[in-house]
Amino acid sequence: MANVTVIGAQWGDEGKGKIVDWLASRADAVVRFQGGHNAGHTLVIDGETYKLSLLPSGIVSGTMSMIGNGVVLDPWALRDEVQKLEGQGVTITDDNLAVADNCPLILPLHRDLDGLRETAAGSGKIGTTGRGIGPAYEDKVGRRAIRVCDLAHLDDLEPQLDRLCAHHDALRAGFDQPPVDRAGLLAELREIAPFVMRFAQPVWKRLKKVRKAGAKILFEGAQGVLLDVDHGTYPFVTSSNTVSGTAASGSGLGPGSTGFVLGIVKAYTTRVGSGPFPTELEDEIGQTLGEKGHEFGVVTGRKRRVGWFDAVIVRQSCAISGVTGIALTKIDVLDGFETVKICTGYRLRNNVIDYLPSHAGDQQLVEPIYEEMPGWEESTAGARSYADLPANAIKYIQRVQELIETPVALVSTSPERDDTILVRDPFLD
């Protein structure tokens, strides 16, 4: 049986939560492989809304859920989220949740640094979620991170704290901040350690076992390809690789295990935070799309920037991530427009190009070239088959599919799990 890897093919917030939840209910294990609690996945099940940032979406449906080594883990955020879900009646034990013992930790000093840098950057800020994600990944590759497994050896932590604090104290001094409170940090780690250690284990080993038993594994990506630290709109990106290839390295299975790559694509475009956005609409149409689509961030509550569908970036994301098929979400938000536009290429210094260039200045300069299509008056909300869709909505979906050179596997027509048109089942492909 095939595995499925879900990734966002735009700037995040494509509606992954609903699709992942739907797939998770049919998977045997769900694994997060990158990012941290900067993600915001909303699930609506039987009228109840669950907001997840760190836990894999499978946790709500009781599917075995794992946090892989590629994730940066804030142990206090983990505890808060577990407690919040338990308050909503979700059972979370070491039977249905495993945390990789080689995950690097996000510490309060990472959050501090994230905030200090953003404040100092003023209008040049990245617009991060302020959760310490970037600084935690820096410490991981700088080989001075404290990891989940270290929580079982806190009496031996001094040499690691020396390395970590030497680095952070120098940075903090540059921002006129006092050195790290080492004793306080150690005390906080001692307090949280037993909670995290309940779930800690070598996730790669657990995955090897479930794979051998023929389990269906769902790899749950966070953010989107345009926020990838290599392939995104650098430097306005997150600090992890958000592409499908990370599913293997960020969980501990080989590249052959990622299976069907499902790219989640919103029927228009949104982004939160700063950075280039060629099809951004700062007019009334953008306002209407934002309001109809409830475009506010799950994690930060920030208003999302909104624009027409950009086929150039989605085609690029699908190629970079080897997307097998897409799930097109929020098509109902386009209901009621007289015409709808799709960006098919860019104009850059009098040249027409069919890709987003790497240079940040060029990314700001590109101008979208649009194709205009007739819209549809009828509602697509809640449609469960192509026969329920207006002809112009079908034409729009077909044109999207052609332009991004990738087939549509699913169309989502409302936040409810069952309001989905299934064209091709990723688990059966």
Binding site for ligand IMP (CB under 6 A): 11-13, 38-40, 126-129, 131, 133-134, 222-223, 227, 236, 238-239, 272-273
Question: Closer to ligand IMP at the Cβ: 236 or 309?
Answer: 236
Minimal distance, residue 48 CB to ligand IMP, in Å: 22
Question: Closer to ligand IMP at the Cβ: 34 or 96?
Answer: 34
Question: Closer to ligand IMP at the Cβ: 38 or 363?
Answer: 38
Minimal distance, residue 336 CB to ligand IMP, in Å: 26
Cβ count near 215 (within 10 Å)? 16
Question: What angle in degrees, to the nearest 10, is found between the helix axes of 182-197 and 75-87?
Answer: 40
Minimal distance, residue 188 CB to ligand IMP, in Å: 21
Question: Closer to ligand IMP at the Cβ: 84 or 211?
Answer: 84
Catalytic residues: 13, 41
Minimal distance, residue 11 CB to ligand IMP, in Å: 6
Question: What is residue 258's three-state secondary structure?
Answer: coil
Question: Closer to ligand IMP at the Cβ: 126 or 261?
Answer: 126
User: Strand (E) positions, 77-209?
Assistant: 97-100, 200-201
Contact of 202 with 295, CB cutoff 8 Å = no
Question: Closer to ligand IMP at the Cβ: 219 or 376?
Answer: 219
d(CA 254, CA 83): 33
Contact of 286 with 30, CB cutoff 8 Å = no
Burial profile 116-143: b = 16 or more Cβ within 10 angstroms, e = fewer: bbbeeeeeeebebbebbbbbbbbbbeee
> Which DSSP string do the residues of 314-331 spell out, in sequence order?
HHHHHHHTT-SEEEEE-G
The closest residue (CB) to ligand IMP is: 273
Minimal distance, residue 91 CB to ligand IMP, in Å: 26
Residue 2, both tokens:
């095939």
Minimal distance, residue 142 CB to ligand IMP, in Å: 16
Question: Closer to ligand IMP at the Cβ: 226 or 340?
Answer: 226
d(CA 219, CA 29): 8
- Write the single-letter amino acid at 38: N
Strands 200-201, 367-374: pairing is: unpaired
Minimal distance, residue 273 CB to ligand IMP, in Å: 2
User: Strand (E) positions, 274-407?
Assistant: 305-307, 309-310, 325-329, 339-348, 351-353, 367-374
Cβ burial of 395 (10 Å; 0-12, 13-18, 19+) is middle
d(CA 171, CA 178): 10
Residue 114, both tokens:
């994230």
